[in-house]
Structure 1
Amino acid sequence: MHPNSAFRPKQDDLAELLVREIGFAAIFAGTPDGPRVAHTPVVLSDDRATLRFHLARGNALTRHLDGTTALAVVQGPDAYVSASWYAEADQVPTWNYVAIEMEGAVRRIDDNALVALLDTLSADHEARAGANPPWTRAKMNPALFGRMTGAITGFEMRIAAWRPTIKLSQNKPADERERVAAGVEATGHGALAQLMRHLGGDRGNA
């Protein structure tokens, strides 16, 4: 988490919204073989207390996660910020970015909960994709689906700490923020520019 409190959102629901919208995380944990990371789609519970995800059984983290403490990181858009974009003198280059960290104890979930997780994931993302009709597991041979789910393991993290960083030039005056937004947009980072314009002012400040 960035040490400048200006980059921590004051709205409790902003970090939650970004996790739901992005829906993909890196899961970090220590193992006897050293630190490892896995990348996976995630589902945040309605009460924002738990994060569910699944990993391949052969993943280097899978056999070590149950009962350990892990860190989940959801990253949004990011871009380099040139100091030449500022009107104010004596500035340095920086990087604007969105990152949500969640820490907590992880437990393995049973097969029924894993299937429910997969159903939720597919329903959410099929709707976003505009698939008509949407894919469901009812379209699969049940035996084949069972073999495929047998190759993965589901987990639930009980979130003990949220550490969001929404670094969108909130520490700069409005005119400087707009110059930076225009700069990152011109370099092909339109999503970050849009976030800067919507979240980089008072709404995003701590």
Structure 2
Amino acid sequence: MHPDPAFRPKDDDLAALLVREIGFAAIFASTPDGPRVAHAPVVLSEDTSTLQFHLSRGNGLARHLDGAAALAVVQGPDAYVSASWYAAPDQVPTWNYVAVEMEGKSRKLDREALIRQLDTLSALHEARIGIDPPWTRDKMSPAIFGKMADAITGFEMTITAWRPTLKLSQNKPADERTRVAGALQAQGHGALAHLMDQLAGRGERR
């Protein structure tokens, strides 16, 4: 799908909001063994300048990321859009989707920074699911936690470019967007339909 400028959000905070809400990314980089991708939970800094993540030491990408250029992609909901859902004639099928690309240089974190990342991740997501009291690493044997921490490597990517794409029928008239959102809701794609409604509410339309 070509990222038409119509699908770039005008709200500068929206891409960061999606990264934090989804919290999981695909990390891409070139290696001597060819292109590689890893999948990891992520932590976006408050000022949106860095993205932290960790990988298993055995991951094919982990040993090549320190100092490397990387691309992180956070993907939201997506779904096929049938041309039959439009009232206007001469339409073609398409795909609505949400994706945020972040490009930058990655570096390996020391152990202390890795532990802080793990604590931040667990605190964020324990709060989301409402466990009371929340899980913390204090509930683990320090020796076992240490052994498990030794099996992963933490990284931080300094973000030099953001490329968000929210392809949510903004190039269609309001009545057509409503029809598509309703059809997607009926097909079980409620999250995507909700995003279309939210985007319209923010004035993200052309």
TM band (smaller chain): over 0.9
Q: What is aligned with 2:64? A: 64
Q: What RMSD over aligned residues (CA atoms) do the two structures have, in Å?
A: 1.2
Alpha-carbon distance in 2 for matches of 1:111, 1:205: 45
Q: Which moved more, 1:1-10 or 1:91-100?
A: 1-10
Partner of 1:52: 52
Provide the rounded CA distance (Å) in 2 between the counterparts of 1:160 and 1:13.
Answer: 16
8 A contact 1:2–1:165 mirrored in 2: no
Deviates most, 86-95 or 194-203:
194-203
Q: Secondary structure at the match of 2:169?
A: coil
- Report SS of the residue matched to 2:158: strand
The whole-number CA distance in structure 2 between the counterparts of 1:3 and 1:20 is 22
- Tell me the equivalent position of 1:25: 25
Q: Supply the distance in 2 between the matched residues of 1:3 and 1:126 (Cα, whole angstroms).
A: 35
Change (3 A) 1:139 1:178: same
Contact residue 9 and residue 205 of structure 1 kept, 8 A = no
* 1:57 partner amino acid: R
* Length-normalised TM-score, structure 1: 0.97
Shift of 1:4: 1.3
Tell me if structure 1 keeps the 8 A contact 2:3–2:165. no
Q: Secondary structure at the match of 1:204?
A: coil
**Which residue of the partner structure matches residue 76 of structure 2?**
76
Give the CA deviation at 1:201.
6.2
Instruction: Identify the range of structure 1 (179-188 vs 100-109) with the bigger mean alpha-carbon deviation.
Output: 179-188
Paired position in structure 2 for 1:97:
97
1:9-47 Cα deviation digits (max 9, x unpaired): 011100000000000000000111111100000000000
Deviation (angstroms), 1:205:
4.1
Structure 1 counterpart SS, 2:3: coil
Conserved 8 A contact 1:108-1:153: yes
Q: Name the TM-score, length of structure 2 as normaliser.
A: 0.97
The answer to whether the Cα contact below 8 Å between 1:177 and 1:200 also exists between their aligned partners in 2 is: no
Residue matched to 1:41 = 41
Distance 2:164 2:175 in 1: 25
Q: After TM superposition, give the deviation of residue 152 of structure 1 in Å.
A: 0.1
Gapped runs of 5+ residues in structure 2? none
Name the count of aligned residue pairs.
206
Q: Which amino acid aligns with 1:50?
A: T
The offset of 1:134, in angstroms, is 0.3
The offset of 1:3, in angstroms, is 3.2
Q: Is contact 2:80–2:95 with CA below 8 Å preserved after alignment? A: yes
Alpha-carbon shift at residue 176 of structure 1 (Å): 0.1
- Given the superposition, is the C-alpha separation of residues 158 and 205 from structure 1 closer, same or farther in structure 2, using an over 3 Å criterion? farther
Does structure 1 retain, via aligned residues, the 8 Å contact 2:52–2:117? yes
Distance of aligned partners of 1:174 and 1:205 in 2 relative to their CA distance in 1, 3 Å threshold = closer
